[in-house]
Amino acid sequence: MTELIERPAPEIGKARRRREDARLVTGRTRWTDNIQLPGMLHVAFLRSPMAHARILRVDVSAARELPGVVAAFTGADLGPEQGSLPCAWPVSEDVVIPAHPPVAVEEVRYVGEAVACVVATDRYRAADALEAIEVDYEPLDPVLDMEAALAPGSPGVRAGQSNKAFTWVFSQGEVDAAFAGAPVLIERTYVQQRLIPSAMEPRAVVCDRLGEDYTLHSATQIPHILRVMLALTTGIPEHRLRVIAPDVGGGFGSKLQVTAEEVVCLLLAKRLNRPVKWTESRSEGNLTVHHGRDQLQRISLAAESDGRIRGLKVDLLADMGAYLMLVTPGVPLLGAFMFPGIYKMAAYDFRCTGVFTTKMPTDAYRGAGRPEATFAIERVMDELAHELGIDPLEVRRRNWIEREEFPYTSVAGLVYDSGDYGAATDRATELLGYAALRAEQAERRARRDPVQLGIGISTYTEMCGLAPSRVLGSLAYGAGGWEHASVRMLPTGKVEVVTGSSPHGQGHETAWSQIVADTLGVPFEDVTVLHGDTAISPRGLDTYGSRSLTVGGIALLQACGRVREKAKSVAAHLLEADPGDVDFENGLFRVRGTDAVRSIQEIALAVFTAHNLPDGFEPRLDADATFDPENFSFPHGTHLCAVEVDTETGMSRIRSYVAVDDVGNVVNPLIVEGQVHGGIAQGIGQALFEEARYDEEGNLLTSTLADYLIPSAADLPDFVTERTQTPATSNPLGVKGVGEAGTIASTPAVVNAIVDALRPYGVHDVRMPCTPERVWRALEESR
């Protein structure tokens, strides 16, 4: 059999449109709320209107009598069976993990905490019934401010107990010596405001019971972890529980959680032996989806008079909210290693205190710890430059790790494998037109233009691709960081891929198909990707921390390699050649130097029929692989922006934005572009618009999208995005994560630009979000 094969363009690197998008953007898909099961009931939760109160009485009897109501339960009715919502990251010896019943029993500790639930024949009747529930509360003091919460005599989130959740410290080098006698000392305090991760798809749960078997559908990022945690906390054995994350519409960390609603729906399906559904409304979500950020950062930097950094000290207060949820206390730790950023220094001291308050618990939100760290160091680098009268790019240049110094062990102990900070920065300054903008800035300053121009810089790196299991273990995280994939060759030569990674908007189905197409030499269209169902994909650790490609993608690559090796031995057998003489290219096995070939599809069929296989060959080509990375991945880049600040009104307008990111090799540039755009938008959201605000009684003031402002396309400039490409050395694809980089980089770029615009007025900081009113007040105060 001879054929002239044209070498197809490789799939890896092709800007393919995402194959899953048609169904996702039209909504004709398996969103959890689209699921309808016969006899399904609807759940609604009564939520606390008080930030802190003792529950004296909850009476659901009138609700039970209403038409259409099937059941109503208080926390006490659910009893010990509801267990305690898990925290899987006990960060330190001294960590306090309070009991956290899904439906409160004795006390409520934040506005929105569930106090009762109703099950009815439709969601309208369920909502009506909530109004018939009577609750008597005895108000207790709310605890809202972290510093006050730690002061002696503060009311406790739990009576008689300290509001301190934990302390975690890290120190490297001679910190005291670095600070003693340092020519330059910069000390600043920054506030990372509380944010609400606003995934487009609200959370939803559908739970079905069949005999002793349960199927829980949830809009979750973590079906595998959820299954394990629910088995551990509810007593429903793991093998009786199937968790399905159908198509999931965004998460940003907010669906990396084991929620009260998931646990309660499971219990309700068990007790009532009927399928139940719960879907949150947006305002319910703003109250009760875990929040993000909320840190008070004290940062001190000691430097030489030429700007070289001697040492860094960071003292953080991190608001935990009322309880520790799945990885609540671990979020600031993910930042602990990133405060030194891309800079060389000999000494670093980090301390974090977790603080309980009567607010919604915080947890992972896009970037989780790294945006906070990057913000603080990049803000301080600008302060250092200002102090010394050096250009802020130059001060960074004097401190950053040079390309020939990689691999480089940072002062925080991370081994940065590769990078080229100079290349990214040079390209970014060129794209922005840095010099021309500086000239325009000088000109506007000189004529005291009411509209001032600021240039913002953010040169970042971050650790992602979570993570080496051993490292996670050393940080007391409750799980590993490997990922699993399996590849099934079907008799007709098509390929089914099963991934343990759990997409919720990232485009796995496209990227994974590209990897398979190149490694097995099959057409892109011949691959299908299965995910998000513990019955179909039993092994996995899900999607968060920009880990899908750098961990899950590598598992897939390895599984494909195994399939190929097996196929090769069959091909050699059929071609009557030594496997060592058989080459594989573009889906064809060829005896070297001959025209004798077999396609991988022919091999698949031959293995299916099993009529003529090598002796002892088990008739299947399928293979799987589990990959545990040896290191994190360290994407980096330089983001620059120009912001016009109207000093009369305080309004900031981003005029231009340039991002040059280095995410190593790229499987699909279009997907990378999408991640960068969305990431930048979300980071700008923190810089300019978003803030979860509680009043002095602990009521959330931003419970709707009319109050919690997120940017839309109309509020954002065109982003100029480019890449430099320094392959990762820690994985065979040379890829680095890209899911969070944009968010990590953009927030300080924007705030630095605003401050840069305002320096001639004596303004050296503006608290986020930099609303027009805050900018105006900062100007008023310094006038």
Partner 1 sequence: MIPATFDYVRPSTLGEAAAALAEAGEDAKVLAGGQSLLPLLRLRLAYPSVLVDLGRVAELRGIEDRGDRLHIGAMTTHDEVVNSPLVNEHCPLLARATATVADPAIRHRGTFGGSLSHADPAGDLPSVALALDAEFRLASAAGERTVPAADFFADYLTTALEPDEILTGVSVPKLGPDWGCHYEKFHRTAQAWAIVGVAAAVRHSGGAVVEARIALTNMGATPVRAHAVESALAGVPLNGSGAGVREAALRADEGTNPPSDADAGADYRRHLAKVLTRRAVIAATSG
Does residue 330 sit in helix, strand or coil? helix
Residue 475 vs 710, nearer CB to partner 1: 710
Query: Site for partner 1 (CB under 8 A): which residue of 138, 762, 773, 782?
Result: 773
What residue ranges in 219-346 does DSSP mark as E strands? 241-244, 276-279, 292-303, 309-321
The interface region with partner 1, picked from 214-222, 329-337, 604-612, 702-710 by CB under 8 A, is 702-710
Candidate segments 543-551, 557-565, 603-611, 770-778, binder of partner 1 by CB under 8 A: 770-778
Strands 184-195 and 292-303: antiparallel
Instruction: Tell me the closest approach of the beta carbon of residue 714 to partner 1, in angstroms.
Output: 4
β-strand partners of 168: 352
579 binds partner 1 (CB under 8 A): no
609-648: contacts with partner 1 (CB under 8 A): 648
Contacts of 565-568 spanning 24+ positions with Cβ under 8 A: 566/617, 566/621, 566/623, 567/489, 567/600, 567/603, 567/604, 567/607, 567/621
Nearer to partner 1, 19 or 777 (CB): 777
Question: How far is 767 from 759, CA to CA, in rounded Å?
Answer: 15
Q: How far is the CB of 649 from partner 1 (least distance, A)?
A: 6
* Selected binder of partner 1 within 84, 193, 283, 586 (CB under 8 A): 283
The distance of Cα 105 from the centroid of its chain, to the nearest Å, equals 32
Instruction: Label residue 532 exposed, middle or buried (CB < 10 Å: 0-12, 13-18, 19+).
Output: buried
Applying CB under 8 A, the span of 465-473, 476-484, 627-635, 765-773 interacting with partner 1 comes to 765-773
Task: Say how far residue 529 (Cα) sits from the centre of its chain.
Answer: 22
Contacts of 285 (CB under 8 A, 6+ apart): 202, 203
5 binds partner 1 (CB under 8 A): no
Q: Does position 782 bind partner 1 by CB under 8 A?
A: no
Measured CA to CA in angstroms, residue 207 lies from 165, 258, 647 at distances of 33, 14, 54
CA dihedral 688, 662, 386, 765 (to 10 degrees): 20
**Is 452 an interacting residue with respect to partner 1 (CB under 8 A)?**
no
Single residue of 152, 212, 706, 783 touching partner 1 by CB under 8 A:
706
* Region near partner 1 per CB under 8 A, out of 244-252, 310-318, 487-495, 705-713: 705-713
CB 374 within 8 A of CB 338: yes
Count the neighbouring beta carbons within 10 Å of the beta carbon of residue 612.
Answer: 9
Among 152, 211, 714, 718, binds partner 1 (CB under 8 A): 714
* C-alpha gyration radius of the chain: 28
Residue pair 79/112 in contact by the 8 Å Cβ criterion:
no
Q: With CA atoms as reference, report the closest residue to 370 among 745, 721, 752, 677.
A: 745
Is 281 an interacting residue with respect to partner 1 (CB under 8 A)? yes
Q: Looking at beta carbons only, is 452 or 771 nearer to partner 1?
A: 771
Q: Does 304 bind partner 1 (CB under 8 A)?
A: no
**What is the size of the binding site for partner 1 (CB under 8 A)?**
28
State how far the Cα of 229 lies from the Cα of 213, in Å rounded to an integer. Answer: 16
Each residue 218-247 as x (binds partner 1 by CB under 8 A) or -, in order, gives: ------------------------------
Residue 444 Cβ, how far from partner 1 at the closest point, in Å?
Answer: 18
For partner 1, the closer CB: 436 or 714 = 714
CA-nearest of 89, 33, 689 to 361 is 89
Query: Which position among 64, 123, 759, 764 is part of the footprint of partner 1 (CB under 8 A)?
Result: 123
DSSP 633: B
Task: Note whether 603 and 567 are within 8 A (CB).
Answer: yes
Residues in the chain: 783
| 476 token code pair | 């007391």
Which of these segments, 413-421, 427-435, 750-758, 771-779, binds partner 1 (CB under 8 A)?
Answer: 771-779
| CB nearer partner 1, residue 123 or residue 158 | 123
Task: Quickly list DSSP for 100-125.
Answer: --SS-SSEE-STT-EEEEEEESSHHH
Q: Smaller CB distance to partner 1: residue 123 or 298? A: 123
The nearest distance, CB 777 to partner 1, in angstroms, is 7
Residue 709 interacts with partner 1 (CB under 8 A)? yes
Q: Segment 642-661, which members bind partner 1 (CB under 8 A)? A: 648-649, 651
Q: Measured between alpha carbons, how far is 465 from 547 in angstroms, rounded to an integer?
A: 4
* Binder among 406, 584, 617, 776 for partner 1 (CB under 8 A): 776
Q: Which is nearer to partner 1, 126 or 355 (CB)?
A: 126
In this complex, which beta carbon is closest to partner 1, that of residue 538 or of residue 711? Answer: 711
Instruction: Please report how close the Cβ of residue 203 comes to partner 1 at its closest, in angstroms.
Output: 15
Q: In this complex, which beta carbon is closest to partner 1, that of residue 15 or of residue 701?
A: 701
Residue 134 interacts with partner 1 (CB under 8 A): yes or no: no
**Does residue number 128 form part of the binding site for partner 1 (CB under 8 A)?**
yes
The verdict on 771 binding partner 1 (CB under 8 A) reads: yes
CA angle centred on 294, ends 315 and 662, rounded to 5°: 85
At closest approach, how far in Å is the CB of 42 from partner 1?
10
The encoded tokens of residue 423 equal 């290349």
- Residue with tokens 């680098």, as numbered in its chain: 381
> Residue 217: which residues within 8 A CB-CB, separation 6 or more?
32, 35, 204, 205, 206, 207, 208, 243, 244, 245, 246
Q: Is 701 in the site for partner 1 (CB under 8 A)?
A: yes
161 lines the binding site for partner 1 (CB under 8 A): no
Q: Are 259 and 82 in contact (CB under 8 A)?
A: no
Whose Cβ is closer to partner 1: residue 127's or residue 415's? 127
- The answer to whether residue 270 forms part of the interface with partner 1 (CB under 8 A) is no
> E strands within 331-450?
347-356, 408-409, 415-416
Residue (579 or 711) nearer to partner 1, CB: 711
Q: Is 715 in the site for partner 1 (CB under 8 A)?
A: yes
Side by side, the strands of the sheet bearing 41-47 are 69-74, 114-120, 41-47, 276-279, 204-210, 213-218, 241-244
Q: Which of 23, 439, 693, 782 binds partner 1 (CB under 8 A)?
A: 693
What residues make contact with partner 1 under the rule CB under 8 A? 123-124, 127-128, 131, 281, 283, 648-649, 651, 689, 693, 701-702, 704, 706-707, 709-712, 714-715, 771-773, 776-777
